[in-house]
Structure 1
Amino acid sequence: MSDRLEAGDPERIGEFWLAGRLGAGGQGVVYDAYGPDGTRVAVKVLHGAQEAPRELALMAAEARAAQRVASFCTARILQVRLEPPRPYIVSEYIDGLSLQGTVKGAAGRPGRRFAGDDLHRLGIGIATALTAIHEAKVVHRDLKPGNVMLGPDGPRLIDFGIARVLDTHSATEGTFAGTLRYMAPEVYAGRRAGAEADVFAWGAIMVFAATGEHAFQGGTLPEIAHRIRTHHPDLAALPDALRPLVEAALAKDPLARPSARAVLAALTRDPREGPGGPDDLVAAGAAQAGLRSRWEPGDPALGKVAEDVYAALPPREQGLVPEVFLRCVVPGEDGSLATRPVALAELSDRDRPDEARALEHVVRAFEPLLVVAGDQVVLARPAVLRAWPRLRDWAEDERDGLRVHHRVREAARTWADHGRRRGDVLTGAHLDEAVRWATAAGSGPSLNRLERGLLDASTRARTARGRRTRAAAAVLAVTTLVSLTATGWAIRAQRTTVDQRDIAASRQLAAQSRQFGATAPDKAALLAVAAHGIRETPESRAALLNIVTHPARGVLNGYRGDPRAVAADRAGRLLAIGNKDGTIGLWDVRRHRRAGGFLRLFEGDGSDVPMMVALSPDGRTLAGAAADEESAAGSTWADGDVRGTVRFWDVRTRRPLGELPVSSGPGSVVFAPDGKSAAVNDGEEIALWDVGTTLRRRGPVVRAAESDYGTFTVVSPDATAVATGEISGELGVWDLASGERTASFPVEGAAVALSPDARTVVTAESGEDYDTYVRFYDARTGKQRSKPIRMSLASDVGPFSPDGRAVFIGTQLRDTATGTRLGTLPVDSGDDAKIVSFAGEHTVVSLTANDFSRNTVRLWDVTVHQPDRRPFDPVPPDERDGLNRHGFSPDRRTMVTLAAVGGQDAFQTWDVGSGKQTRPPVPAPSDANGRTDADPIVVRPGGGAFAVADLEARIKLWDQAARRWSVLDDGPGGVVNAMALSPDGRILAAGRGHLVHAPDRPADGRVQLWDLDARAPIGDGPLFTSGEQVTALAFSPDGTTLAAGIGRTVRLWNVADGEELDPPISGLTGTVTALAFAPDNRTLAIGAADATTLWDVRGRRQIGAPLAGHSDRVTSLAFSRDGGILATGGDDGVARLWDVTGQSQIGAPLTGHADRVAAMSFDADAAVLTTSDWAATVRRWNIAMPADPAATACTIAGRTLTRAEWAQYVPPGIDYRDTCPSLSGS
């Protein structure tokens, strides 16, 4: 099913109802939609309000050209409406999977390769479509597997999003339009993409369909471009009949490639018969291209989804379906329909509890068409009103009744809000109409108790009015007394109603805040503040905490451009953004708003012109660079004869300071630390220019690498050094002041970043496994500083932090000395976000590519919910391949590690806070087989002793003062799976599992206690014995209770007398993997599988719903000192924080560990969370909560909630409040 509509998406576009999002791109958003008669279509809404008339004219030409193409080749254009403010194009919906999804697997289906006749027919189908397209004088320009839909009647080409009409195509349009791996070599050279480029893409697609791999691999743009220009793919997997055609299509010279028509002729007929006419040829191709035998439907139609759910319901619940859906519909005065959220209380307000439960089941059954958001039911797919014939008929049949019911419902709510006053009942014609509707037969909504109560009260009031006229005197006295009494009750009832209204509004706004968290952090922050201001609830508190503990620090309010370059001053106060249209805007980072008007660098559409901006470190001078308008209009950027201009402005006065007439296209502009000079790379040489005089300073220059995708030229951020070289070749580092080469050494990959101090070079390379490998080199010696970092996806490298000690690789912040991951920004995986600049020491700026439905420029704080820059690594990274174990004291202040020390395995004791070793190493004893391994390890408070279990299941205790080992249990028995120490460190608990020498026999499920002071077991024997493994142990904070996880059960004992506390906690959803008591000694957190549940151990009652989110099993748990926050860690290497009261996640996941999170603890103020992983790496996370969360949220938003937004999101009846008074003028 298509993605759900997002906040801000309309319900309808023209006459088409929207069901969801099919995708978003540079030109707009594509919606899954349905017409008035239920026909499914795709509606592409363009960003016309921001497009120049020329762009809209081009789009209109594209649409008209696409309408000339045969309908069996493409998605047929049904309607074109390009008038502002919301231009759109409606096209046929193609039911099926894309070639990308078919080959790689999608929607739960396994991937498959094409071979034999299937591959041949696929080739015919795509070639047929290309021939028809080219005959219509259109070039697709973005042909790729994702744009080939396998419909029931063969392949169809979709998304003419960057197509251009042949007879209107200028030489400067779209040099780098398209998808990297399927762009022809001439496009990378800067030449126009003609029909030959589509044929090249056809050849690459055939390789992909046959092999499941891209024909041209690579992890970075330079590598992909280099391979496309030089590499010849292996075509052995192709049939003999296809191989020469694909080889010809992939020719590097576009003139050597066959036309699509020639390819189709070769595939469909004997070449000796000649090419034939184009219409006959296309018809022959269409006839031979059918893939019906292998066709798989893609996304099921909304009406079918709804009907299938309806058919599966029992008859009684089927009768309640109209009740639910029609309550979500509001009739308009003009007869149109709209949707509304329905309060759960409105549905459940029934006389019979079984009917209320049945309605709830109906709502759940129709998810995701209906979605429960907080305490409301929302029609998440509005188009179901048109897509589902049954519902369409209900709505049409009940259109008049819906209008009456809407009036009754609104009147009932007003009646209840005002304390059910007699003056608010229905009267006259409205009452007569409501009674007639309520007593008539139909499929519309039935009255709930509140609505029926209103009609009853209205009828009684009308009867009472007639009776009063006959006994006025007597009634007057009685009425006076009753009125006085009723007034008191009404006031109290009204107060109760207002309280309920505010609580509901607070919860609703909190839920909406979470929905906006990923797409509009400013709005999410304001809704959270509004929710907390209307009424403090657990939900509003959780929403506020989620905002202030998330690294996202807001967006640039009002920014709607197409960013091409970003730069910041040293303090991070000012941001410069260069836009596609040639303007440069300056933005106040703290207030998230533009600082003054735009500056103009060039005129017209700069989609093909590289653009750079730079700010001097003090923020006083702005530089912008691009190709000259005249030369750009007559040449492409890669032609080599493009002139460039670098312009400077005074930021305060906006006054131009001058231009640098560089002879070629500028590659970069970097200010020197004093801001008085700038290093300019014009594509030929790098030289220093004086900003004040705009003259080149005397002295040597550094030659740039030849302009080729196999080379690189990188200037350091302080304009002191330059790195040049070839991919996986010799790299040279040059001093810009002297022009001398300071270092030369071989590198792997391409140098993509040079640190601010010019001491670190970062390279990126695509490996044979197609992953990207990032390496850090010392720029002075050429030595690698750490092992290569393997990234599963191609990742951008840079920017560096201002001090050069950290660098972003994708969204991960890495230490430049060790390569250690220092943190990860929780960017939505669908955002395609790129970190482009630091703005000060702690703030970074990201751009979200190709998605104008969201604000594309975002700000992040790299210190919020991120670890400190220098992790505590007691085991050096280069020694982690050997033995590596560790354990903690109950207070997590002392750690003992087992690792190689001077060539010998030894135990070392560490103070976790300082990271210093506190006691001499202890050589690890070996067993009969010479093994020194030991796991688990537990440490007594202060580190005076620690206990270990070896591979022979023996438990031993090391006494630091006596410097000797004591054997507590010499086995034999089951493997010691878990050990725990009481808070005072006096009692050791151990739990066992499978037998060491007989793992196939029943487990040795013993739980036993030892007195460590006496070095002796407690009691006459084990606390418990079973045939199941003991997987987790935990003492309560007061030391009186022990909990043990055994299979899917938790058993509890009184430590003082060893008596089991029945009954056990059972029925858990998975094997228990972690346990932790809260400070109150009665709340127990149980990690089982990938979720955690909270239990009241006294009442054996589960508290709330499971806390889920980990992608693997939960391995560690910890409560804050006040019990308000729970930390969970998992095998996925992620730690998560949870608000215990609201049972919601706080902030983004903490993703700094490479593997299992083994242990966690909070400091006294819950400002720092300490975690460790399997490699004994200890991280300290800044999780401090601000003193005034609302004020912090307002700072993140950078503005206040407008009256229009208040009216849009806050339920009626609550007067507007200024959420952020300090920012009202922003």
Structure 2
Amino acid sequence: MSSGTGQSLGADDPRQAGPYRLEARLGQGGTGAVFLGRARSGRAVAVKVIALQLAGDEAFRRRLAQELDVLGRVRGTGLPETVAADPTADRPWVASQYVPGASLAEAVRAAGPLPFDSVRVLGAGLAEALAALHGAGLVHTALQPHKVLLATDGPRLTSFAAVRAFAAADPSRTVNAVDGRFLAPEQARGHHAGPESDIFALAGLLVLALTGRAPFRDGLGTETLRSIIEDDPDLTAVPEPLRSPLAAALAKDPERRPGPEVLVRRFAPSAARAVGWLPPPLAVQAADSAGQHWSRRRALLLAVGGAGVLGVASTATVLLSGSDDASGSKKRSGAKAPGSLVMTPLSTLDLGKSQHGSHIAYSPDGKRLAITLEDRVTVWDATTNRRLSDLAAENAMGSTAVAFGRGGLLALGYNRKFVLPDFDSDLGGITVWDSRGDTRKPIAQLKSPSESKSLQGMTAVAFSPDGRLVAGARNAQGAIGKAQVWDVRSEKKVADLLIGSGMGNRMSAARSLAFSPDGKTLAVGWGVELNGGVTLFRTSDWQQARELPLKETDAFGVTSLAFTPDGRTLAGSFGGLALWDVPVGRLIARVGTANDGNQTLAVSPDGRTVALGGGGHASAGRVALYDLRTRKQRVTVPSGRSGTSDLAFHPDGRTLAGAVTTAKMVSAVQLWTLE
């Protein structure tokens, strides 16, 4: 079951699945790609072709066959209808009913929140589908906005047999953080998912439909999961009479959540799928036939209001090796024009599955590349791309930052483990190794105690130019956040630098750090309530030197900072790009807006170029390079499925590294050459 006519088939896409001719790619998920298929009779179907890595997993194949058999016996309005399947094929496939229409994710992204009456029908329809599923003793376990289609006769769930098989074949698989926004607290803790977990996810989808955003914090790595476990849902924009049942469905205790039959009665007493339940633009799209050309559907979505909507999970089809033209062939940036810049993919370092966005750093001599993974940092030979060592921090739960310092020093910032249900979730730390010597024993282990707040135990790390000091950024009690500075060799803390005393809230924090090239200034980026800024401190006496406020940032504020080599310009990401004149202390340029989703940057060694990266739930990753003198964009390239979590220039300036997630749903570092 799927919607739209999708994108042209790529060179590596299959052309046939059983009796079905595959005509277009509709989307990509963790278990495989979905295609528009055509039977010999002309009937359109949605065909999921299982990913290659799962096709070779016999446990997955067995569970897929079992799930198809069980789900095939369940009947209910709104549930997917499997037309045919072959779990024994070289590439297993599942064909389901084709349903033209936008997914819930597409609809909200393009048109914003849905009307109140539409959400009532949506809630009743999905609750009715869950009632049928739970009545058969089954649990969905993975309700997501892109898995709900808005058909003219009511909402429909897409096929989920492969997802259930994927989870069941290996119960030790960890939760994917990108999909974690709609997990129940028990799932976020890694516990069993029951029918009540589906109710929690359903409520989250309806909050998204009503308000345009999820009910809990939308962040990277474990941030969202901890918000689900700790925080009350944000229902301030949810009107009654839906606020009360949604609040009940989002209860932390599964036993306190209502059953689906109760929700059917609360959302729409008749549970009827009202004719005309969709707003007109979405109704027109849902009525589009399967044979219409993609460009017509794209034009309709653009008219609705979102250029970023290109199909069900279509962002997953972006490849790291370049963009596709309409025919599916690869295009390079073309011949280099005078003064232009060309980025050419050089190689990809495959890091495997990871819950966390990686962070990266080159050593000052350019010989090594450090890449974070979960609770550790891996060190690679930057010439041969060979993995040299893995360095784990004691009691680390998730790595948050990495930095190289003079003399081969390597620092890993991390959040420390906590114990449920009584825990401090903002414990942080920095571990420092001598990467050129014996790395088995750290030379410094610096711990940052709890501030009795949530989530932001350590968000950034930076060395002073001489390697003597290391600084970390975090949240703070009674303030927006703080920067902490230690002497590396003595492990003595030399400064606790408070940001915005009396101005913080539960989610505010200092989020980025950078020492000036001369070592005389420490810049600290921060964010609070959709505003942010940078505070400059003198390293001679650790007194505040300047305040550089920045209004209308994204939810995280200033998330990345870098000085130009001369120290006169400071670049910061806030969703867009901000540039400050440091000596004068004023904002000199603001490129883009908070909605652009850029949260990482790097300045080239010659100070002429800034690389800006981002992406996330709403769009695929991309990297854009800007001329720092003219502030004009020089080139932009795709950079992975779910966004670019970090960027770093090689010291020679000819290579750019970006931490990404590939179309195969694995973490990777993409390397580009610049010419």
Q: 1 CA distance for matches of 2:244 and 2:550?
A: 40
Q: 1:836 to 1:249 in 2, by over 3 A?
A: same
**What letter corresponds to residue 475 of structure 2 in structure 1?**
E
Task: Trace 1:904-983 onto structure 2 (pairs within 5 A).
Answer: none
Partner of 2:472: 723
Structure 2 length normalisation: TM-score? 0.66
Percent identity of paired positions between Structure 1 and Structure 2: 22
Q: 1:696 to 1:237 in 2, by over 3 A?
A: closer
SS at match of 1:721: strand
Partner of 2:495: 742
Report deviation, 1:226: 6.7
SS at match of 1:711: coil
Indicate conservation of the 8 Å contact 1:104/1:112, yes or no: no
Q: 2 CA distance for matches of 1:547 and 1:29?
A: 40
**What letter corresponds to residue 5 of structure 2 in structure 1?**
S
Q: 2 CA distance for matches of 1:734 and 1:785?
A: 19
Partner of 1:624: 390
Report deviation, 1:681: 4.8
Q: 1:176 to 1:152 in 2, by over 3 A?
A: same
> 1:721-758: per-residue Cα shift (whole Å, max 9, x none)?
24254265341412142421413212463233322668
Task: Trace 1:801-812 onto structure 2 (pairs within 5 A).
Answer: 809=573
> Which segment is superposed worse, 613-622 or 146-155?
613-622
Indicate conservation of the 8 Å contact 2:79/2:156, yes or no: yes
Partner of 1:775: 533
> 1:489-528: per-residue Cα shift (whole Å, max 9, x none)?
xxxxxxxxxxxxxxxxxxxxxxxxxx984259xx989x87
* Residue 345 of structure 2 is aligned to residue 554 of structure 1: yes
**What letter corresponds to residue 786 of structure 1 in structure 2?**
L
Report deviation, 1:200: 1.6
Partner of 1:289: 272
Q: 1:55 to 1:151 in 2, by over 3 A?
A: same
SS at match of 1:89: strand
Q: 2 CA distance for matches of 1:517 and 1:679?
A: 32
Report deviation, 1:113: 0.5
Report deviation, 1:181: 4.0
User: Which of 399, 406, 411 is 1:667 aligned to?
Assistant: 399
Indicate conservation of the 8 Å contact 2:96/2:159, yes or no: no
Q: 2 CA distance for matches of 1:67 and 1:48?
A: 24
Indicate conservation of the 8 Å contact 2:453/2:475, yes or no: no
Partner of 1:92: 97
Report deviation, 1:155: 1.8
Indicate conservation of the 8 Å contact 2:534/2:547, yes or no: yes
User: Which of 637, 643, 665 is 1:833 aligned to?
Assistant: 643
Indicate conservation of the 8 Å contact 2:152/2:286, yes or no: no
* Residue 82 of structure 2 is aligned to residue 77 of structure 1: yes
Task: Trace 1:573-588 onto structure 2 (pairs within 5 A).
Answer: 575=369
SS at match of 1:143: coil
Q: 1:137 to 1:791 in 2, by over 3 A?
A: farther
Q: 2 CA distance for matches of 1:15 and 1:301?
A: 25
Task: Trace 1:896-911 onto structure 2 (pairs within 5 A).
Answer: none
Partner of 2:312: none
SS at match of 1:787: strand
Q: 2 CA distance for matches of 1:247 and 1:218?
A: 18
* Residue 323 of structure 2 is aligned to residue 518 of structure 1: yes
Task: Trace 1:640-789 onto structure 2 (pairs within 5 A).
Answer: 646=392, 662-665=394-397, 667=399, 672-675=405-408, 681=414, 683=416, 685-689=429-433, 692-693=437-438, 696=441, 701-705=446-450, 709-714=454-459, 716-718=461-463, 720-726=469-475, 729-737=480-488, 738-747=491-500, 749-755=508-514, 759-767=522-530, 773-779=531-537, 780-782=542-544, 785-788=547-550
Report deviation, 1:212: 5.0
Q: 2 CA distance for matches of 1:675 and 1:123?
A: 57
Partner of 2:116: 114
Indicate conservation of the 8 Å contact 1:176/1:190, yes or no: no
Q: 1:148 to 1:845 in 2, by over 3 A?
A: same
Partner of 2:36: 32
* Residue 201 of structure 2 is aligned to residue 206 of structure 1: no
Report deviation, 1:92: 1.4
Indicate conservation of the 8 Å contact 1:730/1:746, yes or no: yes
Report deviation, 1:264: 4.2
Q: 1:686 to 1:573 in 2, by over 3 A?
A: closer
Partner of 1:257: 257
Indicate conservation of the 8 Å contact 2:185/2:252, yes or no: yes
Instruction: Give the length in aligned residue pairs.
Output: 553
Q: 2 CA distance for matches of 1:734 and 1:225?
A: 29
CA RMSD between the two structures: 4.8
Q: 2 CA distance for matches of 1:697 and 1:704?
A: 19
Q: 1:611 to 1:19 in 2, by over 3 A?
A: farther
> Which segment is superposed worse, 188-197 or 737-746?
188-197
Q: 1 CA distance for matches of 2:208 and 2:411?
A: 46
Q: 1:717 to 1:734 in 2, by over 3 A?
A: closer
Which structure is higher in helix share?
1
SS at match of 2:252: coil
Q: 1:845 to 1:230 in 2, by over 3 A?
A: same
Q: 1 CA distance for matches of 2:410 and 2:292?
A: 65
Partner of 2:285: 298
Higher RCO, Cα 8 Å, sep 6+: 2
Q: 1:48 to 1:676 in 2, by over 3 A?
A: same
Task: Trace 1:1081-1096 onto structure 2 (pairs within 5 A).
Answer: none
**What letter corresponds to residue 492 of structure 2 in structure 1?**
G
Q: 1 CA distance for matches of 2:233 and 2:498?
A: 30
Partner of 1:1219: none
SS at match of 2:407: coil
Task: Trace 1:17-166 onto structure 2 (pairs within 5 A).
Answer: 17-49=21-53, 53=57, 54-57=59-62, 59-70=64-75, 72-82=77-87, 86-102=91-107, 105=110, 112-115=114-117, 119-158=119-158, 160=160, 163-164=163-164
Report deviation, 1:66: 3.9
If you compute each CA radius of gyration, which structure gives the higher value, 1 or 2?
A: 1
Q: 1:56 to 1:793 in 2, by over 3 A?
A: farther
Where structure 2 has 5 or more consecutive residues not aligned to the other structure, the ranges are 298-319, 417-427, 592-609, 611-625, 627-632
Q: 1 CA distance for matches of 2:396 and 2:351?
A: 31
Q: 2 CA distance for matches of 1:725 and 1:577?
A: 21
Where structure 1 has 5 or more consecutive residues not aligned to the other structure, the ranges are 270-286, 307-365, 370-514, 529-541, 580-608, 626-645, 647-659, 768-772, 865-1191, 1193-1226
Q: 2 CA distance for matches of 1:751 and 1:235?
A: 26
Task: Trace 1:394-543 onto structure 2 (pairs within 5 A).
Answer: 517-519=322-324, 543=334
Report deviation, 1:293: 3.6
Q: 1 CA distance for matches of 2:291 and 2:268?
A: 38
Indicate conservation of the 8 Å contact 1:734/1:741, yes or no: yes
Report deviation, 1:829: 9.6
Report deviation, 1:146: 3.5
> 1:681-727: per-residue Cα shift (whole Å, max 9, x none)?
57264444566555656777433547974332145243742425426
Q: 1 CA distance for matches of 2:295 and 2:324?
A: 23
> 1:1000-1044: per-residue Cα shift (whole Å, max 9, x none)?
xxxxxxxxxxxxxxxxxxxxxxxxxxxxxxxxxxxxxxxxxxxxx
Q: 2 CA distance for matches of 1:795 and 1:58?
A: 44
Indicate conservation of the 8 Å contact 1:103/1:111, yes or no: yes
> 1:602-641: per-residue Cα shift (whole Å, max 9, x none)?
xxxxxxx65542458999984425xxxxxxxxxxxxxxxx
Q: 2 CA distance for matches of 1:299 and 1:791?
A: 35
> 1:421-477: per-residue Cα shift (whole Å, max 9, x none)?
xxxxxxxxxxxxxxxxxxxxxxxxxxxxxxxxxxxxxxxxxxxxxxxxxxxxxxxxx
Q: 2 CA distance for matches of 1:159 and 1:245?
A: 27
Report deviation, 1:562: 4.9
**What letter corresponds to residue 809 of structure 1 in structure 2?**
S
Q: 1 CA distance for matches of 2:574 and 2:361?
A: 19
Report deviation, 1:5: 1.0
Q: 2 CA distance for matches of 1:77 and 1:70?
A: 11
Q: 2 CA distance for matches of 1:236 and 1:792?
A: 19
> 1:745-775: per-residue Cα shift (whole Å, max 9, x none)?
12463233322668222224452xxxxx442
**What letter corresponds to residue 21 of structure 1 in structure 2?**
R
> 1:148-176: per-residue Cα shift (whole Å, max 9, x none)?
22224322122538843699487643334
Q: 1:665 to 1:238 in 2, by over 3 A?
A: closer
